[in-house]
Chain A
Amino acid sequence: MNPNLKSFGLMAAVLSIFLTGCGRSEIQVYRVPKEIRTAPAFPQASESQIAWATPQGWNEQPSSGMRLGSFAVPGPAGKAGADVSIVQLTGEAGGTLANINRWRSQLELGAISETQMARQVTQFSVNGIQATMVDLLSSKPVGDPPQVTRMLAVMIPQDASTVFVKMTGEEHMVTSQKAKFLQLVSSIRFSKTAPPPAIAAQWKAPPHWKAQPLTAMRKGSFLITGENNSRAEVSITSFGGMAGGILANINRWRGQIGLAAISEPDLEKNAETTHIQGHHITIVNMAGKGGQRILGAITPHGEETWFFKISGDDQLVQSQKPALIEFLKTVKFP
């Protein structure tokens, strides 16, 4: 072969080996010194510090993951023990009913309604804070190993978070430890740490809007009650950018009350725009199916879009429009 060809071929081969050798990264295994794992930014709240007294005979485990506290309750010889956890989550962490239904599903029990829940929970005071307790028993052996399982769970609202204390284990084991579990719950103390600097929006709500606990998504939450037990809920949220656009959000709200989506040309007919305190605000007032109504206001501010939504019984929501306009005048964005 021509020696020039040979050397060219050799260079091309070296180049291709070099390029194929620089492939994508592979799975790596390495050891690192034990690290202190920081508190999460997203779902867990820790505005207050929490302390408790461990009941006698229970083995406190190192806190880990979501757990602020963890206890192993030893069972009688040869029998499985029970597990106790203390967890703190932002807001209501989905709400009391959602949490109870989640625990019920863990015990392979069907979901219950708000009315059924009211009959199944007990409320009592933990150092001046109203706590809610639920006592669940599986109808058949569940889990691993399969056993008839009992779960005691207490929810204690604390600032903008909820503390969950839960004991799970074999039915008789949990029953025998219930007194100690309640002793643990009543020993819980909160000590406040300095709150982070406020970067929240400020507003002045009408007196008949009753403030509700905030959730991870809600910047503001209020309950309005009217005649004949009618109810409406006010939620204030904000999302980055256009949050999908005004039309998409109005259609999302329409979907929530059983209305069909509208297109861009229909938007003008269904929404009004106004200027309040220099903010361009889009207001919609939509009567839905089943006597439901949504009154909403959307306004972009800085890099975020803010949503003010009043949803609930038709007449009550309809009557809140002047209150909403007055409320919007008081809003000072961060």
Chain B
Amino acid sequence: MLIDRIFKIFTSLKLTVICLGFGIVLVFVGTLAQVHMGIHAVQEEYFGAFLVYWKPAGANWKIPVLPGGYLLGIILLLNLLAAHIFRFQWAWKKSGIFLTHLGVLLLIVGGFLSGLLSVESQMPLDMGQTKNYSEDPLAVELVLVDTSHPDYDEVVAIPQHFLGSEKNIQHPRLPFRLNIEKYYPNSKLAMRQPGTDAAAAATQDIGINVQATEIPRATQVNQQDIVSALVEIVTPEKSLGTWLVSSGLGKDQIFSTEGKTWHIGIRQARYYKPYSIQLLNFSHDLYPGTDIPKNFSSRVRVVNPSFKEDREVLIYMNHPLRYAGETYYQASFANNDKTSILQVMRNPGWLTPYFACSLVGLGLLVQFSIHLTSFIRRRKA
């Protein structure tokens, strides 16, 4: 029966070896690709993908050439599960192997959990500044903020992938439609030079004077894309015009419709938190008489109204703040030591590698102990 043959393939050790072989090739090719694509793009397109594609320069087609990290992980996971279900017979003397395999399964599942659920962001804080959100250094969002209410702002945050994939964006909370006329994944902004530059595509606000030009995506770890887009705002009655929005403008632009004032802009994607963090002091200590850094530390104040919590914490190297499921590391600093940059990591599966490795270790210990005792018994006999 066909179905049985398929399951037989899944239980085979050959499949495991093939997958591990592809895994080695993937790591090798992915490491080389980082030179041109940068670590983040490779993570996305090689290790966090089901298939790795090859696209000739300038072509608009692509073909899959390698299984991606996710696909290999899933096949290995199913392979291990199928082998246990169909092939292995439970016996006490094999309990070590079972424990080791359970550890490996947990490691693969934990890897998936981290890949899919973990969120990494940054919180740059100036001295004295308080923030209740961190920002994604790699992803941006198009925001439309209704500032008409006297007490609060209502934010409609549109993730970056909508800009590349959707031509028209509509949302029940927006009394207008957004028509994405052009999307620049990375761009260069310059003041428009009258006479030499083409006519402005934007018809409103700063876009009339600023020219965006598409440039290749940033590949270095310390570079950031300047994401820009030309967005036409269309109410049911008419078009309000076209705005150039960009993460490089550093400021929202404003328009009004139906008696409400809206801010439009592209900014680094934000993750809001139910608590706030204030930077009280940042220290950058050097070894006396040298420029060699000895210590970076941030003294912060954590205020969480729902728990009536208000306390000070010192974050320094290897001593992060773990709070509300997130970990704050001292990552960097800027602005002549007046700005501290905290790395914020949310990873619900952060404990799984510890459990998994402990299980693998325990399994190996049990299995070797079983063999050792049976060996000793046989010698005695």
List the interface of chain A (C-beta within 8 A of B). Answer: 4-5, 7-8, 11-12, 15, 18-19, 22, 24-35, 37-44, 64-66, 89-91, 93-95, 97-98, 101-102, 215-217, 256
Contact = CB atoms under 8 A, between A and B. Distances in A.
A40 B251 contact: yes
B288 to A, nearest CB: 26
Interface of B: 3-4, 7, 10, 70, 74, 77-78, 81-82, 85-86, 112, 116-117, 147, 151-159, 161-162, 169, 171, 173, 189-194, 196, 205-206, 208-210, 248-254, 261, 263, 272
B117 A215 contact: no
A43 B209 contact: yes
A94 B209 contact: yes
10 closest Cβ contacts across the A-B interface?
A: A40-B251, A65-B254, A98-B194, A41-B250, A22-B116, A40-B250, A25-B159, A31-B152, A216-B191, A28-B157
A32 B250 contact: no
A19 B108 CA distance: 13
Contacts of B147: 34
B173 A8 contact: no
Contacts of A217: 190-191
B249 A65 contact: no
Nearest to A7: B85
A64 B262 CA distance: 11
Contact of A34 (B112, B151, B253): B151
A39 B161 CA distance: 27
A315 B250 CA distance: 43
Contacts of B4: 5
Contacts of A31: 152-155
B191 A91 contact: yes
B157 A27 contact: yes
A4 B253 CA distance: 61
A34 B272 CA distance: 14
A30 B252 contact: no
A32 B155 contact: yes
Nearest to A93: B209
A27 B157 CA distance: 6
A16 to B, nearest CB: 9
A90 B194 CA distance: 16
Contacts of A42: 189, 210, 248-251
A5 B7 contact: yes
A8 B3 CA distance: 12
A32 B251 contact: no
Given A41-B250, A64-B261, A97-B194, A30 B272 contact: yes
Nearest to B269: A25
13 contacts: A5-B7, A8-B81, A15-B77, A25-B161, A27-B171, A32-B155, A42-B189, A89-B209, A94-B191, A95-B194, A215-B191, A216-B190, A256-B196
A90 B156 CA distance: 30
B191 A43 contact: yes
A102 B206 CA distance: 12
A65 B250 CA distance: 11
A12 B78 CA distance: 7
A97 B192 CA distance: 13
A153 B208 CA distance: 17
Given A8-B82, A42-B248, A24 B253 contact: no
A8 B82 CA distance: 6
A22 B117 contact: yes
Contacts of B171: 27, 29
Contacts of B157: 27-30
Contacts of A102: 208-209
Contact of B173 (A29, A37, A101): A29
Contacts of B191: 43, 90-91, 93-94, 215-217
A82 to B, nearest CB: 16
